[in-house]
Structures are given as structure tokens and as C-alpha cells.
A and B are shown apart, each in its own frame.
Chain A
């Protein structure tokens, strides 16, 4: 199957800093990618849909100015958590569709101190 990578796999940062997470489709092109967040013992919650060459579509309750998404190429989408705070600590996962299946990246575990 198709492969999606994420970088970094984990990051620890101080409160107030910004963190960029990359999501890449390695062997296919993705005009759309999805960003999810998962808190402990909860399911994945869709944050936004990343669209290549246009603005991302954010889910209700997700602040677009706090979670900046850029989808500059057909194989790369980035999520920047700006001015991160401890409550932003979570597991961030991206996915990209290929044919009729969603392929997930391995996730990025963010811890904000």
C-alpha cells in the first residue's frame, strides 16, 4: 500500500513556541490530506482538510490562526502549532487518500511543557 510519513515522530517544546509537523506522501500524490488530533483514550478528531494550492478547511472549533496548514506541493502538507501551550499536547496524525483508502502517517507526539 501507499506510504505516508510524518516528521518529527515526537517533539517536546516550551510553552509559547511554535512547532511544525510535516506530512509526506512518499509514493503517490495527494491533493488532499487530513490532519487529526488524538487525546489519550479518545478517538481521532479531524482538525482540518489540507488542500493543495488552496486554503485548508477547518473543522468547527479549530482555530485556523493557531493551527496553520500549508499544502504547497502534491506530496507535502505541514501543520504548524503556533504559540503552543500544554493543552495542545496531543498525538497529531495526518492521512492521505489513495484510491479508496486512507493511509495514515505514523503520528507526531507533541508535548508542551
Chain B
């Protein structure tokens, strides 16, 4: 079983739609969770951290369910510019110097 699993997609949705991604992780002791966005041929960029209480940043909402060991990302009112690969990232350690684990990514394509 992979340490971090994501549905690879691709998700192809119309502009304005709401789309949700899920991610599961195997290490129950994992401490920190993130969603990164990666555009084609670019480096990953942090989209948002994920907290147990859930957090929202504009059109983006992230949630963590420790009991079920999954993380979700919800994108509302999707824009063309949201087209990218979304990476679920888990830090199993207590420090940012711990190696982080990437999911394989979910590709999202927003159509006009």
C-alpha cells in the first residue's frame, strides 16, 4: 500500500463547478498535511496547509479526518487558472526537516 494515495484523475469539469479531491495516508502518526499545486513543468507550490479543524482560503477548503486518515480539498467556483495537478503531501515527522511524502497527484482540467 502506498504511503499517500490519491485518485490520479484526470478530473475534467466546467468553469464554475465545484470539485473535490480526496487523499488517504497510511501512517497514523503523521503530523502535518498539505496540498500543493504543480503546473506543468514547474515546481510544486504550497496551496494550503491542512488542519484538524478544517481551514478555508477563498474558494479552497481543506479538511483532515485523522480517524479515517484522509484529507480532502474542495474547490468552489472553479476557474480556468485552477487547471493543474494537485498534490497531497504528508509529513510523518515532527519537524519540517523530516522528509515529506507526496501523493501521485490529481490532475484537474477546467474547461470553458
Contacts and interface: CB of A to CB of B under 8 A. Distances in A.
Interface residues of B, number: 20
A44 B88 CA distance: 11
B102 A43 contact: yes
Interface residues of A, number: 23
B46 A101 contact: yes
B61 interface: no
B66 interface: no
Secondary structure class of chain A's binding surface, majority of residues: strand
Interface stretch (A12-20, A66-74, A77-85, A105-113): A105-113
A75 interface: no
Contacts of A100: 32, 49, 96
A40 to B, nearest CB: 10
Interface of A: 1, 31-32, 34, 42-46, 49, 91, 93, 97-102, 104-107, 109
Give the 3 A-B CB pairs with smallest separation, nearest first.
A97-B96, A104-B43, A43-B104
